C-alpha cells in the first residue's frame, strides 16, 4: 500500500541519501620506521618538501604518481572522489574546508601526511524524492511479501502432511539435515 511504501522510505532514509562529496587529489607520504609503523617526523619532512614543490608549480599528477604511498589513487595522479564522513576525520575536515583549486598544507592522519588539492566545489548532499523511488520500493516490498507467504505456505503443508505421506519402497527421499541453529 502507499502507507507501506511511505513507512519503508522514512525508516530507510539513509538508503536514499548521499552525503556531500567532491573531487580531490592527494599525495600520501607514509615513511615507515624499522617496525613498519609510520615515521611521522620523516613523513612530515617529506610532505613539507612535496608541498613546497607544488607551491613552486610542480605537476601534481606527476608527483602523486612518483611519490604517493596511496596505492588506490597514485596511478590516477592522486585523484579520487570522496564523500563526507567516509575518509579519516583529519583528511575529511581538510578536504571539505578547501576552496576549489586550493592546496592544503600537509595534514596528519593515521596513515601519514596528506597534501590535498580540491578539484571541484563541494557537491551538496542529496536525497532521492519518494516519487523517484516509489516504484522500486513497492516492487521490493511486494517481493518480500511473496517470499513470506510462500515460506508460510510450505511450512503449513509440511505440518499438515507430516506423518501422512508414504513412499513406495526405494523411493523415499533422503533424510534432510537439521536446520542450523544461530549458535552453529
Hey, what's the cell of 52? 613546497
Hey, what's the cell of 97? 574546508
Q: How far is it, in rounded angstroms, from Cα 40 to Cα 32?
A: 8
pLDDT for 184 beyond 90: no
| From 3-7, 21-25, 63-67, 178-182, the region with the lowest mean pLDDT | 178-182
Please report, in angstroms and rounded to a whole number, the separation of the first and last CA atoms in the chain: 38
CA 89 to chain centre: 15
Judge if pTM exceeds 0.75. no
Q: Specify whether the CB–CB gap between 116 and 91 falls below 8 A.
A: yes
- The SS3 assignment for 25 reads strand
Q: Specify whether the CB–CB gap between 87 and 48 falls below 8 A.
A: no
Predicted local distance difference test score (pLDDT) of residue 17: 87
Question: With bands split at pLDDT 50, 70 and 90, how would you rate the model's confidence at 4?
Answer: very high
pLDDT for 116 beyond 60: yes
The CA-CA-CA angle for residues 115, 121, 124, to 5°, reads 120
Q: How far is it, in rounded angstroms, from Cα 100 to Cα 22?
A: 10
- The SS3 assignment for 94 reads helix
Local structure of residue 22 (DSSP, 8 states): E
Amino acid at each position: 500500500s502507499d502507507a507501506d511504501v511511505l513507512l519503508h522510505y522514512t525508516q530507510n532514509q539513509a538508503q536514499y541519501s548521499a552525503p556531500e562529496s567532491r573531487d580531490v587529489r592527494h599525495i600520501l607520504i607514509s615513511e615507515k620506521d624499522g617496525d613498519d609503523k609510520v615515521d611521522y617526523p620523516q613523513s612530515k619532512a617529506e610532505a613539507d618538501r612535496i608541498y613546497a614543490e607544488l607551491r613552486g608549480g610542480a605537476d601534481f599528477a606527476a608527483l602523486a604518481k612518483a611519490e604517493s604511498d596511496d596505492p588506490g589513487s597514485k596511478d590516477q595522479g592522486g585523484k579520487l572522489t570522496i564523500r563526507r564522513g567516509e575518509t579519516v576525520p583529519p583528511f575529511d575536515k581538510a578536504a571539505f574546508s578547501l576552496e576549489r583549486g586550493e592546496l592544503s598544507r600537509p595534514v596528519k592522519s593515521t596513515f601519514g601526511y596528506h597534501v590535498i588539492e580540491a578539484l571541484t566545489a563541494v557537491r551538496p548532499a542529496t536525497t532521492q524524492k519518494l516519487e523517484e523511488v516509489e516504484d522500486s520500493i513497492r516492487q521490493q516490498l511486494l517481493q518480500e511479501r511473496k517470499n513470506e507467504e510462500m515460506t508460510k505456505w510450505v511450512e503449513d503443508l509440511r505440518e499438515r502432511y507430516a506423518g501422512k505421506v508414504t513412499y513406495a519402497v526405494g523411493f523415499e527421499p533422503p533424510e534432510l539435515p537439521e536446520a542450523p541453529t544461530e549458535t552453529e
